[in-house]
Amino acid sequence: MKNKSTVGEIRARFDADVERFSNLETGQTSTVDAALSLELITEAARRVKPDAAELLDIGCGAGNYTLKLLEKLPDLNCTLVDLSAPMLERARGRISQKTKGTVRALQADIREADLPENHYDIVLAGAVLHHLRDEADWLETFLKIARLVKKGGWLFVSDLVAQHNAALTAYMWENYAAYLTELGGADYAQKVLAYVEKEDSPRSLNFQFNMLKRAGFSQVDLLHKNVCFAAFAACK
């Protein structure tokens, strides 16, 4: 896709934005229903994998998803992957205080990360997959995740999404713009929508569910959707 942010540009933005992604109570406020999605995903993970031992958090940011999951499934072995070294350092520090399990932090793009296959009970991907670009990129990433997850393991995603229909996508963006304007005013809304346009390339749930099944996930469940944000789960 033309004129989208490079991996390096995305890394640089997150390097400078650690504090905003460190609020466990509210989540990221520019994300509709952030706190609700955080609760839904982690509680769903507890219910479907109560015996989980190995966790992988892709694009972990400051560690909010892992921290919330550790409240429900304590002492997991946690593997944290993120492009941003400052984000990883914050996540490692916060998470190390909350688990007696191992904590491994890896600065990498998940597509290139050297990780053990058939190893993880739970994989979390919070607000990260929308940075993928073309169809081949999406399929490659889901195939990589499928190789990392144990048989019977689960992937949990919370992310920005598009609609399958272009007119409905435009309608959802109008609703999102209204939400942002109410949250922080017109200038704030314009700023957020501008970096979404520059940095992100979200796909519809139909597209992602199809890619997940092509990658080897046998079951996909929608947990929540509001405007252009959704939370869902997939079992290998």
Extended beta strands in the chain, E state:
54-58, 77-82, 103-107, 120-126, 149-160, 219-226, 229-235
Decide: 69 and 42 in contact? Cβ < 8 Å: yes
Quote the tokens at residue 153: 């393991």
pLDDT reading at 225 higher than 80: yes
Domain locations along the chain: 7-235
Mapped onto helix, strand or coil, the DSSP state of residue 61 is coil
Q: In a 3-state reduction of DSSP, which class is residue 105?
A: strand
What does the pLDDT look like over 50-81, one tens digit per residue? 999 999 999 999 999 999 999 999 999 999 99
Q: What was the pLDDT predicted at 71?
A: 97
Which class for 72: exposed (0-12), middle (13-18), buried (19 or more C-beta within 10 A)? middle
- For residues 24 and 47, what is the distance between their CA atoms, to the nearest angstrom? 21
**What digits encode the pLDDT tens for the residues 206-224?**
999 999 999 999 999 999 9
pLDDT at 165: 95
Q: What average pLDDT does the chain have?
A: 93
**C-alpha dihedral over 26, 31, 36, 37, to 10 degrees?**
-120
Q: How many CA atoms lie within 13 A of 88 on its CB side?
A: 18
Token pair of 173 as six digits: 């963006």
Q: How far apart are CA 129 and CA 161, in angstroms?
A: 10
Confidence of residue 18 (pLDDT cuts 50, 70, 90): low
Contact 202, 161 (CB under 8 A): yes
Q: Residue 19: helix, strand or coil by DSSP?
A: helix
CA–CA dist 28, 196 (Å, integer) = 14
Candidates 3.40.50.150, 3.40.50.1000, 3.40.1390.10, 2.60.120.260; CATH matching 7-235: 3.40.50.150
pTM listed for this prediction: 0.93
DSSP code of residue 110? T
- What is each CA distance from 43 to 15, 104, 133, in whole angstroms? 29, 23, 30
Residue 182 burial (10 A CB sphere; 0-12, 13-18, 19+) = exposed
pLDDT (0 to 100) of residue 55: 98
For 77, the 3-state DSSP assignment is: strand
Cβ 52 vs Cβ 78: under 8 Å: no
